[in-house]
A and B are shown apart, each in its own frame.
Chain A
Amino acid sequence: MILRLAFGSLLARALTVGMTILAIALSVALFLGVEKIRTGAKASFADTISGTDLIVGARSGSVQLLLYSVFRIGNATNNVTWESYQDLANRPELEWIVPISLGDSHRQFRVMGTSAAFFEHYKYRQGRSLEFGIGVVMDDLFDTVIGHDVAQTLGYNVDDPIVVAHGLASFAKHKDQPFRVSGILEKTGTPVDRTVIVSMQAIEAIHVDWQSGAKTPGKSTPIDAIRQMDLTPKAVTAALVGVKSPLKTFSLQRAINEYPEEPLLAILPGVALQELWGIVGIAETALLAVSMMVVVTALIGMMATIFSSLNERRREMAIFRAMGASPIAILGLLILEATLTAAAGAVLGLGLLYVGLFIAQPLIDSAFGLYLPIEAPATRELLVLVAVIFAGAIVSMVPALRAYRLSLADGMMVRS
């Protein structure tokens, strides 16, 4: 019955209590949402590359190498010469090697030159391979395979012609060499979805008439002539490497890092990811702290409403006192009410999170390539809810203690 009366009392103040619940719910939804995006982003980053033992590039920072080679974020400052690449490819510890050549773009998407081995050895999400939605691996020099998002966004289909621009955000287009879409990949949730893939030779072919980033004036080699040329690559941007035995990974890494002919860098993708988290961690913590502060603000709002309700509820408390309720019981009643309010807020917040996820999931997926799974709340999230309810109870003790003292001082005959 006491619980029913507590409910009744809350219901009688439905508007203010409702606002308080809404504030708590929104803050909880925000907090859980940030948490969800955070873990989702982490998982999707970690899922982007698997099965690759080493990534090799020109010497720079390991995070930088990871970012441009796998995530297509930023640019390489230097390339690896084809000779060094060949040296590397011939090492006995190696199981496989995939060259990567970046630097060109098609519309807003990056173009990546690679070999057919890429489709065999690039793995994501715990060892999944790339699959073709339609079409096949490029066959001709001017064939290209495009990621799912590229096809979606630009409305491309197999056999459509496309033109590749040299450099990023550059308007100088390689007008002369129109490519043909030979295949479209299934969605992976990785940067591959937003990549236009061509062969290493194609990258060379594009640059036949180009010298250090500018078109050589008056020169325009016909396509047939290009096909006759030696299109052996001069350099690669990076290489993905698989070793025969995991035990060899570290010695190979050291050997590459100490390669005498050219300054190279070999990184373990997992280690570089950890390093990346270390950098992102600060922003992540700040974001988490801000959303936590929002929850705290909502709870303080609740405390303020309880405070302001105390005066109008003095009569109610005097009745409880006259009926034999101890001041402790009144303290408990107020804390119970606050706990119910916080609990309602927490549950509603969880509901809002799912509604929000349901609406935002496809949008976030298409805008950021970030797939947020909708699944039953994890233990961690439930713990957050419990913590919010608990914090609500703690916070309400401040006004509850005041009510306690008031009801002690008032006696039971409240002068109204």
Chain B
Amino acid sequence: MSKDSIIDLKDARFRWPGRASFALSVPEFLVEKGQSVLLLGESGSGKSTLLSMICGTILADSGSVSVNGTDLKTLSGWSRDRFRAEQIGVIFQQFNLLPFGSVTDNILLPLKFAPSRRKRCHNPSRQAAELCQALGLPEGIASSKAANLSVGQQQRVAVARALIGAPPILIADEPTSSLDELAQSNFLDLMFHQVAAQETTLIMVSHDPRLADRFDRTVHMNDIATIQRQAS
């Protein structure tokens, strides 16, 4: 196992319980520390499943998934959740935020479950405000309700939430697919700026191969994983 790999999957296999028709198997997938990786693949190819496996919300049936030097299967369910909170910031495609919470509440949420991450930022609400500013969110947005934000603004708040307390890894599952082209490139600029500033390792899923030049590395699902889709 390479010393520099922050993410390291070996012979990892996963099958959704009760769904024999889909089985994902990843012989090897390594990501170096600080690298930005674009993950491409058609719909249903198991991209989100792979990310869930890295996040430890689902456990590989066999093989190993190591994140930042820790094999996830050695952790108990509760410590895996804690580990995820400490190590990984997550952005979904849409509906990232708790609509009834304020922007600040949403940004600070992961710190509730990650004490070391909270310690890392000395003044959480200040850092939240700084991140908002750096991500081009309008002044005074901090106390507005998340539900009142535009989709583009919500996605940027999601970035702020994923990056607060500087977790080593950022995982983004199609974060731009709900944005129009201009907002999309704007969003990526801001996100990459922050990722570079915090030296975060980034894995981002997208359907759009044109984004490839922004990333250190582009990986296609077909190259790292085999999928079995037989009616069992």
Interface, chain A (partner B; CB < 8 A): 1-2, 4-5, 8-9, 11-12, 315-316, 318-329, 409, 411-413, 416
Contact = CB atoms under 8 A, between A and B. Distances in A.
A1 B108 CA distance: 9
Interface string B75-87: 0011001101110
Interface residues of B, number: 34
Contact of B51 (A326, A328, A413): A413
A326 B78 contact: yes
B134 to A, nearest CB: 21
B54 to A, nearest CB: 11
A402 to B, nearest CB: 16
Contacts of A413: 48-49, 51-52, 92, 173
B55 interface: yes
A252 to B, nearest CB: 75
A409 B58 CA distance: 8
A324 B114 contact: yes
B92 A1 contact: no
Main secondary structure of the interface of B (DSSP, over half): helix
Contacts of B144: none
Nearest to A324: B85
A416 B100 contact: no
The 6 closest A-B pairs by CB, nearest first: A324-B85, A324-B113, A8-B100, A12-B100, A411-B52, A326-B81
A5 B105 contact: yes
Nearest to A13: B100
Contacts of A4: 101, 105
A321 B57 contact: yes
A327 B76 CA distance: 13
Contact of A411 (B57, B82, B86, B94): B57
Contact of B95 (A315, A321, A328): A315
B98 interface: yes
Contacts of A328: 78
Interface of B: 17, 48-49, 51-52, 55, 57-58, 77-78, 81-82, 84-86, 90, 92, 94-101, 105, 108-110, 112-114, 161, 173
Contacts of B58: 411
Contacts of A2: 112
Contact of A12 (B51, B77, B99): B99
A322 B98 contact: no
Contacts of B99: 12
A322 B113 contact: no
A2 B109 CA distance: 8
Contacts of B173: 413
B90 A322 contact: yes
A377 B210 CA distance: 70
Given A324-B82, A411-B58, A1 B112 contact: yes
10 contacts: A1-B109, A4-B101, A4-B105, A319-B98, A319-B109, A321-B81, A322-B84, A323-B90, A409-B17, A416-B95
A320 B110 CA distance: 8
A8 B90 contact: no
Contacts of A5: 98, 100-101, 105, 109
Contacts of B96: 319
Contact of A412 (B82, B90, B101): B90
B101 A8 contact: yes
A327 B110 contact: no
B84 A9 contact: no
A324 B101 contact: no
A322 B77 contact: no
B21 to A, nearest CB: 15
A40 B109 CA distance: 52
